[in-house]
Each structure stands twice: as structure tokens, then as C-alpha cells.
Amino acid sequence: MPVEQRLLQRFLRLLKRRLDWEQIPANAGLKTLADRTGDVRFREFAAIYSGAVYRDRVLGAAERARLRYLLKELRRS
């Protein structure tokens, strides 16, 4: 499984917990969902991820590191 997909799965899992949802609507955008949390870390993840993936480019090493850091911080909170 590509690293982008693994990062997204971890993000969505944390998002579901934060929003207390069993399932995320298929038509919901990442930025919209991140905004619902009110947490800047969710918003930053969505901005970085969508900035790369929605433009058909692979995440760079620095982007992957930042996304991992954000996920780690979100798990701790």
C-alpha cells in the first residue's frame, strides 16, 4: 500500500474518533471534514495532503515527515 494511502487511513481513523462518527460520508472533502474538528492540526494535514495528492504528485519527504508528526500529535491529544 502506498505511503499516501496509509497516512490518509490513519488521518481518517483519527478524524472519525474526533467527530464521533462511525463512518465518514463518501462525498465529504478532507478540508471540510478537517474544518469541522476546529483543530489546526487536522486542517494542516488536509492542506498538505490535498495539495499534493489532488494535483497528482507524490508527497515529498518533508511533507511525509510533517504529516507523520501531525498524526502523532493528534493521537496524543
Q: What does the pLDDT look like over 8-20, one tens digit per residue?
A: 999 999 999 999 8
Quick one: 71 exposed, middle or buried, by C-beta within 10 A (0-12, 13-18, 19+)? middle
Residues 36-63: pLDDT tens digits?
Answer: 999 999 999 999 999 998 888 899 999 9
Listed residue (52, 42, 47, 51) closest to 75, CA to CA:
42
pTM of the model: 0.91
Listed residue (4, 6, 16) closest to 48, CA to CA:
4
